[in-house]
Homo-oligomer: A and B are copies of this chain.
Amino acid sequence: MTDSRPLIMVSNDDGVHAPGLRHLIDSVKEFGDVIAVAPDAPRSGQASAITVDTPLRITEHDDIDGAKVYSVNGTPVDCVKLGLHAIMPRKPDLMLSGVNHGSNSGNSVIYSGTMGVAMEACMVGVPAVGFSLLHHSIAADFTHTTPYIIDIVRAVLQKGLPADVCLNVNIPAKCVPLGIKVVRAARGYWTEEYKEYSDPAGRPFYMLTGHFHNEEPDNDATDEYWLARKYVSVVPVRPDQTDTAAISTVREILCL
């Protein structure tokens, strides 16, 4: 490993054994030296969760396509933090996350471990991109995602990203995309979120389910609109959630 090639850190939330991680490494290995630090098991829906008060351990795995591969017994963000602290030989030039088995469009960003990874890197000044495929299957076909991953990674390595912004890339499944659109996340919410069961003792329990209700399906400024039309969506995402435009209104509400 030399300092002359870009150093690319890779993680995900589906775990170190996910095919999407392998595909991402394979897609970007030409651009630099790749080191993967991923959760030891699937950790979907972990957002920016961090592990407190519990020991974290690092395990080394077999290389993937020449990339060093490590796992951490924690969340996606733990992988970024501990990877930067104890594994990476220097601050990486790029952080990539995914390819996630499943969508992270609409308001799913807020629950997404894939985007938790990208936002964590962004907050410490590492350009970061999260990739997601709109297919949950462990056996999903990632082949058609490669040209888009390559184009986006090449551009970000060459030109960087705006300060304090990372990218959320979603890619349609089972088709060659028609193109790529930079848009905002569609407004919406999840509905019918739990299926109710009864255990052998007659006690109820609940399993998460439901679907995203898009409040603006006809708005071509949104990711959901273009994903439904077989385009790749790219949403600039800002880890800092302060709504500065609301400050004066909130002052009025609080009579300040």
Give residues in A with beta carbon < 8 Å to B.
Answer: 44-58, 75, 77-78, 81-82, 85-86, 107, 109-111, 116, 119, 123-125, 151-152, 155-156, 159-162, 164-165, 167, 180-185, 187, 189-190, 193-194, 196-197, 199, 203-208, 234-244, 246-247, 249-251, 253-256
Q: For residue A182, which residues in chain B have a CB less than 8 angstroms away from its CB? A: 247, 250-251, 254, 256
Q: For residue A119, which residues in chain B have a CB less than 8 angstroms away from its CB? A: 110, 241
Interface of A is mostly: mixed
Q: How far is the CB of A99 from chain B (nearest CB, A)?
A: 18
The complex places the Cα of A250 from the Cα of B155 at a distance, in Å, of 10
The complex places the Cα of A196 from the Cα of B85 at a distance, in Å, of 10
The complex places the Cα of A82 from the Cα of B151 at a distance, in Å, of 41
Q: Are B110 and A241 in contact (CB under 8 A)?
A: yes
Q: For residue A250, which residues in chain B have a CB less than 8 angstroms away from its CB? A: 161-162, 165, 167, 182, 234, 236
Which one of B110, B190, B196 contacts A86 once the chains associate, using CB atoms below 8 Å? Answer: B196
Q: Are B123 and A107 in contact (CB under 8 A)?
A: yes
Q: Can you offer 5 A-B residue contacts whose CB atoms are under 8 A?
A: A55-B207, A56-B194, A109-B241, A182-B250, A234-B254
Q: For residue A49, which residues in chain B have a CB less than 8 angstroms away from its CB? A: 45-47, 49, 75, 111
Q: For residue A123, which residues in chain B have a CB less than 8 angstroms away from its CB? A: 107, 110, 189
Which one of B50, B165, B246 contacts A162 once the chains associate, using CB atoms below 8 Å? Answer: B246
Q: For residue A183, which residues in chain B have a CB less than 8 angstroms away from its CB? A: 247
Residue from A58, A82, A250 with most neighbouring chain B CB atoms (10 Å): A250
Q: How far is the CB of A238 from chain B (nearest CB, A)?
A: 4
Oligomeric state, in number of copies? 2
The complex places the Cα of A56 from the Cα of B124 at a distance, in Å, of 35
Which one of B159, B180, B243 contacts A256 once the chains associate, using CB atoms below 8 Å? Answer: B180
Q: Are B253 and A159 in contact (CB under 8 A)?
A: yes
Q: For residue A197, which residues in chain B have a CB less than 8 angstroms away from its CB? A: 55
Which one of B151, B180, B238 contacts A241 once the chains associate, using CB atoms below 8 Å? Answer: B238
Question: In the complex, what residue of chain B is closest to A191 when comparing beta carbons?
Answer: B124
The complex places the Cα of A172 from the Cα of B37 at a distance, in Å, of 37
Which one of B75, B81, B162, B242 contacts A185 once the chains associate, using CB atoms below 8 Å? Answer: B242
